[in-house]
Amino acid sequence: MFDTLSGNLGSVFDRLRGRGALSEADVREAMREIRVALLEADVALPVARDFINRVTEKAVGAAVLKSVKPGQQVVKIVNDELVAMLGGDDAGAADAAPLNLDVRPPAVVMMVGLQGSGKTTSTAKIGKLLKEKQGKKVLMASLDVNRPAAQEQLKVLGEQVQIATLPIIPGQQPVDIARRALEAARLQNVDVLMLDTAGRLHVDAALMAEMKAVAAVATPAEVLLVVDALTGQDAVNVAQNFSDEVPLTGVVLTRMDGDARGGAALSMRAVTGKPIKFAGTGEKLDAIERFHPARVADRILGMGDVVSLVERAAEVIDKEEAEKAAQRMMKGQFDMNDLRMQLNQMQKMGGLGMLAGMMPGMKKAKAAMEASGVNDKVLVHMDAIIGSMTPKERARPELLNAKRKKRVAAGSGTSVQDVNKLLKMHQEMGRAMKQIRKMGGIKGLASLLG
């Protein structure tokens, strides 16, 4: 996500921070570079221009230029304006729900968008979030009678996320399906009814008329437009066209996982006035995130999104296991089983790439790791190596002599060199833990970090 922009801004910032004093000319030069970086990221021209004007106005002030760390201050101003450009924090405070479902149930969430934007997938993803995170009873209904098998597709996704879907009646028209869905939702005491509407290849009059007719019947609490981030400014134009016709309450930006530029995410709010409420980050049905402007800005500026990382860790990590492992480590008993657990957790959290995008300074570390041949495949190899060890070897890796190493390598389809690398990594981690223990354990470490 945002790799290009992040890289370009990073080098501008490194130069700014590297200087003790800044002149107005220095700031203006940096702004020119930032403007180019934004345009390369496919940010809409007027949006980039406004952004630069606002930052410049604040940054050339005497208070900034005469401060102790002017570079740092300019970076902060860019950060704040970036948050504002991405929609401020009004897409919901950190733990408030992004959707306004505070209506008499069933609250209707209407999903609209062009064909192939990821509408059906996002419907199931959001349904799953509402069910699992907020304990809502959800019903989903597909109103897409244009694309053959669209209704069937939602049904299959519903089975995967264990959410009921409205039974399909062949030949029924969208407005009638919406009525039937509402009735079913009332009868079944459903909290949230998700309506997956029909898409088209382009925005056209017939589609808009259908959306309006459905909205009139369903009186949705939320109308979410699904757009594909990879289409850049087209996504923003589609959003503009839709919002002229139907009262959108927010945007779901899909395929953020493949979007290195970020133009749609950066321009959406400024151009359409609509907040991005969710970001789709993959094909799997849990690959969706709340869109937090401040966190996204941190990611773009390479400061890492530690908050999201910790949240994700809390979701995938088995707390009891982790605590047991931590205690063992503190006693200096970090064996191969513990290492394996850590590797598995890294994979569950989305592998090295995902971690790198979220941790401060990790983008550079990731590049270094990749240069030395560490990647997600290596995590899988390491798991296979540990899997080929006997329980005794796992508990006491020092048992691994040349002969045993050969056997483990053969068993895991790797080489003795790979086995050695893993053993070295384990040793180094063990050493690091000893160091932490000497400093007074985790508490000592925490106090060091402030």
Residues contributing to the annotated binding site: 113-120, 196-200, 254-257
Residue, CB closest to ligand GDP: 280
Nearer to ligand GDP, 215 or 288 (CB): 288
H or E element that contains 140: strand 138-142
Minimum CB separation of residue 204 from ligand GDP in Å reads: 16
Does 283 interact with ligand GDP (rule: CB under 6 A)?
A: yes
Distance CA 348, CA 98 (A): 25
Nearer to ligand GDP, 256 or 294 (CB): 256
Nearer to ligand GDP, 101 or 287 (CB): 287
x/- site string to ligand GDP, residues 303 to 342, per CB under 6 A?
Answer: ----------------------------------------
Does 281 interact with ligand GDP (rule: CB under 6 A)?
A: yes
Of the candidates 82, 74, 35, 38, the residue with the CA atom closest to the CA atom of residue 57? 74
Nearer to ligand GDP, 75 or 296 (CB): 296
Of the candidates 83, 80, 44, 91, the residue with the CA atom closest to the CA atom of residue 289? 91
Of the candidates 400, 402, 404, the residue with the CA atom closest to the CA atom of residue 423? 400
Minimum CB separation of residue 278 from ligand GDP in Å reads: 9
Q: Which of 7, 105, 282, 353 binds ligand GDP (CB under 6 A)?
A: 282
Residue numbers belonging to the annotated binding site for GTP: 113-120, 196-200, 254-257
x/- site string to ligand GDP, residues 237 to 256, per CB under 6 A?
Answer: -----------------xx-
Q: Is 5 exposed, middle or buried (0-12, 13-18, 19+ CB in 10 A)?
A: buried
Does 136 interact with ligand GDP (rule: CB under 6 A)?
A: no
Does 412 interact with ligand GDP (rule: CB under 6 A)?
A: no
Distance CA 331, CA 125 (A): 42
Bridge partners for 101 per DSSP: none
Distance CA 184, CA 140 (A): 11
Does 257 interact with ligand GDP (rule: CB under 6 A)?
A: yes
Q: How are the residues of the chain apportioned to helix, strand and coil, as percentages rounded to the nearest 5?
A: 60, 10, 30
Of the candidates 383, 395, 373, 292, the residue with the CA atom closest to the CA atom of residue 346? 383
Nearer to ligand GDP, 59 or 235 (CB): 235
Give the total of residues touching ligand GDP (CB under 6 A): 18
Of the candidates 226, 232, 228, the residue with the CA atom closest to the CA atom of residue 267? 232
Residue pointed to by tokens 């304990």? 135
Candidate ranges 54-62, 169-177, 279-287, 313-321; the one touching ligand GDP (CB under 6 A): 279-287
Does 142 interact with ligand GDP (rule: CB under 6 A)?
A: no
Distance CA 43, CA 281 (A): 20
Candidate ranges 98-106, 276-284, 327-335, 341-349; the one touching ligand GDP (CB under 6 A): 276-284
Nearer to ligand GDP, 126 or 300 (CB): 126
Does 119 interact with ligand GDP (rule: CB under 6 A)?
A: yes
Of the candidates 260, 198, 275, 264, the residue with the CA atom closest to the CA atom of residue 228? 264
* Chain contacts with ligand GDP (rule: CB under 6 A): 113, 115-121, 199, 254-255, 257-258, 280-283, 287
